[in-house]
């Protein structure tokens, strides 16, 4: 019987955290046969793939495109791999007052950050086996409703809740789900996020590198942590959200303009 190949699937792999996941999993998992990279920008994925040791499969697609998702499902059924790790890193956010942001872009946030993540998790789960991992990119914004970051924070709250619940369902089968909740990460994320308003200066003081974010995420996933919070400042923030009155924190966030 032909041995099934083992793969890692990473979305948002053209830049930032997704590209960093590609590089670090390439180094950390030599026994994996292939790493599948998914993003819209093929040229950027090619740049990443050129410095990787693994065989890579580049899948240029928009994760919100249902037809592209159908093609991916057919590819999985045809190849029948064992998905060792799924990393859902595709996503974006917009800073600014809800009524001043583009409605279409805010709805797109729901599609990318919530619907596409859910769909891809559903498609790949049947191909996982005991020991597989699902790593979902949430955010520390999931811990608290955030005025002037309202839709994005709500999206990430969904990702956190969904991931923790799914993890309880899959744990008896040896499949572990981790929600990664970083604060500001030094990536291209803010190139789009600041289209309508600037990132507050205080957030830049807590910014970490993509390398640190991914390194802590992979270590936490290995340890089967359901929630991973990279960086000490965001660990403190999580404790504040847990123990301080939420209404007080929401008012403070509104004063600071997210």
Residues 24-49: tens digit of each pLDDT: 999 999 999 999 999 999 999 999 99
Domain contains 152 = yes
Q: Which residues of 160-191 are buried (b: 16+ CB within 10 A; e: fewer)?
A: bebbbebbeebeeeebbbbbbbbbbbebebbe
The reported pLDDT for the residue numbered 100 is: 93
**Looking at the DSSP assignment, which residues form a beta bridge with residue 11?**
38
Domain contains 185 = yes
Domain contains 46 = yes
Flag whether pLDDT at 91 surpasses 80. Answer: yes
Domain contains 235 = yes
Domain contains 128 = yes
pLDDT in tens, 148-177: 999 999 999 999 999 999 999 999 999 999
Domain contains 66 = yes
Considering Cα of 192, then 195, then 196, then 201, what sign does the dihedral take?
positive
Closest CA to 151 of 119, 187, 113, 178: 113
pLDDT in tens, 134-152: 999 999 999 999 999 999 9
Q: Is 9 helix (H, G, I), strand (E, B) or coil?
A: strand
Q: Could you tell me the two tokens for 56?
A: 């890579």
Q: In angstroms, how far apart are the furthest CA atoms of the chain? A: 63
218 pLDDT band, cuts 50/70/90, is very high
Q: Could you tell me the two tokens for 79?
A: 């190849």
Domain contains 211 = yes
Flag whether pLDDT at 200 surpasses 80. Answer: no
The reported pLDDT for the residue numbered 258 is: 46
**Looking at the DSSP assignment, which residues form a beta bridge with residue 60?**
39
Q: Residue 100's domain spans which residues?
A: 6-255
What is the number of structural domains in the chain?
Answer: 1
Q: Are 97 and 76 in contact (CB under 8 A)?
A: no
Residues 208 and 16: their CA atoms lie apart, in Å, by 12
Q: What's 13's domain CATH number?
A: 3.40.50.720
Flag whether pLDDT at 193 surpasses 80. Answer: no
> Average pLDDT of the chain?
92
The reported pLDDT for the residue numbered 179 is: 98
Q: Are 97 and 148 in contact (CB under 8 A)?
A: yes
Q: Is 83 helix (H, G, I), strand (E, B) or coil?
A: strand
Q: Report the share of the chain in percent with pLDDT over 70.
A: 92
The reported pLDDT for the residue numbered 45 is: 96
Flag whether pLDDT at 237 surpasses 70. Answer: yes
pTM over 0.85: yes
Q: What distances in angstroms separate CA 168 from CA 110, 128, 224, one per listed residue?
A: 24, 16, 12
Domain contains 1 = no
Q: Is 8 helix (H, G, I), strand (E, B) or coil?
A: strand
The reported pLDDT for the residue numbered 6 is: 97
217 pLDDT band, cuts 50/70/90, is very high
């Amino acid at each position: 019987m032909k041995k099934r190949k083992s793969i890692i699937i990473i979305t948002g792999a053209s830049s930032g955290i997704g590209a960093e996941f590609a590089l670090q999993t390439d180094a950390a998992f030599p026994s994996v046969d292939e790493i599948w990279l998914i993003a819209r920008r093929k040229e950027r994925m090619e740049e990443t793939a050129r410095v990787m040791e693994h065989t890579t499969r580049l899948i240029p697609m928009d994760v919100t495109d249902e037809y592209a998702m159908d093609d991916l499902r057919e590819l999985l059924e045809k190849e029948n791999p064992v998905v060792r790790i799924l990393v859902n890193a595709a996503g974006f956010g917009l800073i600014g007052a809800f009524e001043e942001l583009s409605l279409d872009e805010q709805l797109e946030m729901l599609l990318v950050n919530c619907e596409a993540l859910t769909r891809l998790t559903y498609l790949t789960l049947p191909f996982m086996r005991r020991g597989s991992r699902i790593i979902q990119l949430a955010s520390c914004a999931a811990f608290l409703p955030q005025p002037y970051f309202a839709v994005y924070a709500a999206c990430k709250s969904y990702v956190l809740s969904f991931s923790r619940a799914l993890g309880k369902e899959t744990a008896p089968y040896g499949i572990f789900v981790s929600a990664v909740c970083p604060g500001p990460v030094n990536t291209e994320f803010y190139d789009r996020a600041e289209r309508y308003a600037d990132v507050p200066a205080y957030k830049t003081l807590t910014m970490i590198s993509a390398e640190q974010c991914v390194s802590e995420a992979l270590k936490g996933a290995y340890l089967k942590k359901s929630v991973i919070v990279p960086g000490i400042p965001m660990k403190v923030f999580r404790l504040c959200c847990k123990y301080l009155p939420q209404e007080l924190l929401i008012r403070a966030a509104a004063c600071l303009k997210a």
